[in-house]
Structure formats: C-alpha cells, structure tokens
Chain A
Amino acid sequence: MGIIVKNLSFSYPGSDKKILDGISFTVEDGGFVGVVGPTSSGKTTLAYCLNGLIPNSIRGNFSGEVYVDGILTTKSKVSDLAKKVGLVFQDPDWQLFSLTVKDEVSFGLKNLKMDRIEERVKEALEIVGLHGFEEREPYRLSQGQKQMLCIACVIAMQPKTIVLDEPTSNLDYKHTKNIYNLLKKLNKEGKTIIIIEHDTDLLAEYAERILVLSEGKLLRNGSKKEVFSEKDFLEKLGIKVPRVEF
C-alpha cells in the first residue's frame, strides 16, 4: 500500500508561513525515493509527517492526510507508526543515548515488546557491519559507525519504510558510499527508502524517483531521468545538477 500523501499543509504555531503547502504524492512499496530542495524548503518537516511525529508530537496547523500502509497518521500513535516507518535523523549523536550498542538496538524492540530480541539485535548489527560491537559504547564509535548504528536501530524494528534525513551530511565519501550501498541492499530486499539528500550525484546513482521541494511546495515528482534532465530548473532553485550518468 505504501505511503499516500494528500494535500498536506503544515505551519508551526504562531507563524503564518506554510512550511508544507498542499503537497500530494504516493510512494509505492519497494520504491527508492530521493527528496531534494534548497535549505528551509520543508524536507525535514515532510519526513516528520511521514511517521506521524507531525502532528502527534509536534503541534502546528496541520491539514491534509498522510496514509502509511493504509493507516491515517492522525489516527495512530507515533509509537505504533514506528512499526511501519523508521526515521533516521541527520545528527547521530543526538539519537543515541544507551550505554552499549546492544542496548541501543534493543531499545525499540523492548518498547514494542517484540520476541527474539537478542537474535534481532544480532541480525541488525550484522546487516550494518557492526557485528562484534555489542558491548561498545555508542558515544565512542566513529561518526560513520554511529550513523550505521542508527540505521541498525531502525532495521531491527523491521519497518516497511525507512525515511532518512540527510544521513550522510557529516560523513566522508567512503562512509557515505557504505550507507548508500546498504540502503540499496535493503531496497532490493523489499524496503521502501525515502531519503532527503543534497548530493544529487548520489541520488542519480541510487534513487529511482525524485521529489523536488521548494518553499513548502512539491515542484517535481518524477523519475530521476525526468527530474535531473531539467538542468535550468534545478540551477534556478540552487540544486546541484548531477555530474554522473543516470
């Protein structure tokens, strides 16, 4: 069923400025979607809408509908939607809080009262290449490892969709490629990936569809070939035109 967004608008309390303005799109199950746009175009706000953080936890003027797997986000708790949509934030340092890697990954599983916790933690850490790090302190991991751990925390909860908000903005090229290769692998295994990214070269290589946001409006929604071929349009918005083949 995927994700269906219908005429979504949002503004923060006390402000008339619409951060999201009448956005509608659909993401099919198993899609790999890149979201691009200039700074303050509403990308992160959109990510928060997809897993119900907006409007359930972050209040504001919300209108429209977001369906995740047929469930209306306004009618469901964030904790329940977490089973459907996992969210990886930009800054890994402020997502990790446990004293060991193992505790960090099992946190969500314990909250969901899932079975086979040990096994699931092991599997998730193996997928992201952190097997053997179970007893390490998350704080002492490298930035790339921390971001991988954030992804492991999400994978362990086995959501159908993973939303990532600029997960590689603080990483070097090697770690960035590692994360994208992992996302591609997860996508091939059936996960839906929605990633907010400034580096259009990466999206040109990995994503299938591209959404272009600007000032809260969805300006383009098409295949990467269609969107990235519009060089003048991208340059006008200040979005880098990909230099790689797509």
Chain B
Amino acid sequence: MNPKLKLALVVLVSTLSLIFGGNLVYMLPVFLFVVALIFLFRIYRKILDWLKFMVSICLVIILIQSFTYSGLGFTFTGLFYGLIFSLRFLTLILLIFIFVHTTPTKQLVEAFDFLPHQFSFMLMLSLSLLPKVGDETKTIVNAQKARGLNFKTLNVFKVYLPILVPLFSRTLEKSQQLALAMQTRSYE
C-alpha cells in the first residue's frame, strides 16, 4: 500500500478514535477495524509480544479510573470510563504498531516527505540511529551482566542506572562523531 495513503488512514482512524473516544457504540467498531487490520496484514505474531505489556498498562488505567473517578472508592462509572479510555489507548497504539511494522523504513520516511526537508531528514536520521542504539544497549547490558549485575532485583535504580548512564554518554559521544562525519560530507 502507498505509504502516504497508509499515513492518511492512520491519521483518519486516530482522529475518529479521539472523536468517538467517549462513546462505546462508536468506539467499538473503530477498535474492531484496527484488530481486523492486524489479521489483514498478518502481524498477530509480532503483536503478541507487545500485547502483554499493553494489556498491563490498560489494567492499570482501568484500576485507577475505577477507584478514583469519584473520590476514593470503586465506582461502575469509573470502571466504564477506564474501559473506554483503555480501548482508545489500545486503538492508537495498535494503529501505530501496524503502521510501523508494515512499512519499510524507507517508505516510512517517504510518507513524511511533504514536510520541510529538515523534518524528514531528522526523522530519517532518528530512524536510522535506532538499530545502532539498540546494538549499543545490547552490548552494555551484556557487559553489565558479565560484571554480575542482577536483573532480578526490584531496585530499579540499581538495574537501570548502570545501563542508562553509559548508554547515554556513549550515544552522545557517537552522535557527535556522526555530526562530524556529516560535516565532512559538506552538510551545513
């Protein structure tokens, strides 16, 4: 499918989900349409890994809404709003997921080429850096594991600081090199 058409579809369905967000009768068909897209593009296997994470976020939303909608204490109205809000959240996330996973990176950038050159260039640069940052993360995680970092501890700071600090400094340092490399190829 043409990437621009795909992008237009994403914008349209997102807008519909935001407009109909408060009405379950309208929201449900939009959600089902997005689910149908998952089967149409056959990306259900890829989505399964993410579904657990997304559902857990939805549960948190439902719980918070149910118990805080009208003061502290459970209300059915809160539960209803929690459900409808989660549905809207899931629709938007799944929609972006489908768009990203069914569009090759080059087409993804092409879909945004109506934007000023600097914006589409920044998008291209960010997308091309993602796998590199992913590789750096893997290297740092493995290095910290080799040094005995225990990922099973519940102390988030103890686990993530030894990964985030070197990752951040390394990415900054490497990005600086990338900027230099671009300048040596006459980029101003």
Contact = CB atoms under 8 A, between A and B. Distances in A.
B109 A95 contact: no
Contacts of A128: none
Contacts of B183: 53, 57, 78-79, 82
A81 to B, nearest CB: 8
A80 B185 CA distance: 9
A94 interface: yes
Contacts of A91: 174, 177
B163 to A, nearest CB: 19
B106 A99 contact: yes
A93 B134 CA distance: 12
A94 B132 contact: yes
A57 B179 CA distance: 10
Highest count of chain A CB atoms <10 Å: which of B124, B135, B185: B185
A3 B71 CA distance: 76
B185 A153 contact: yes
B181 interface: yes
Nearest to B179: A57
B106 A100 contact: yes
Given A97-B129, A98-B124, A99-B109, A111 B177 contact: no
Q: Chain A at the B interface: mostly helix, strand, loop or mixed?
A: loop
Interface in A190-225: none
B157 interface: no
B43 interface: no
Contacts of A137: 105
A93 B174 CA distance: 9
Interface residues of B, number: 24
Given A94-B178, A97-B129, A99-B124, A111 B184 contact: no
B109 A94 contact: no
Nearest to A85: B184
**Which of B105, B129, B187 gathers the greatest number of chain A CB atoms within 10 Å?**
B187
A137 B175 CA distance: 19
B128 A82 contact: no
Interface residues of A, number: 31
A85 B102 CA distance: 41
Nearest to A139: B131
Contact of A99 (B127, B132, B182, B188): B127
A83 interface: yes
Contact of A82 (B125, B127, B185): B185
Contacts of B106: 99-100
B182 A97 contact: yes
Contacts of A179: none
Interface string B124-152: 11011101100100000000000000000
Contacts of A98: 124, 128
Given A51-B184, A94-B174, A111-B188, 8 more contacts: A53-B180, A77-B188, A79-B186, A97-B124, A97-B129, A99-B109, A111-B186, A139-B132
Interface of A: 48, 51, 53, 57-58, 77-80, 82-83, 86-87, 89, 91, 93-100, 107-108, 111-112, 137, 139, 153, 157
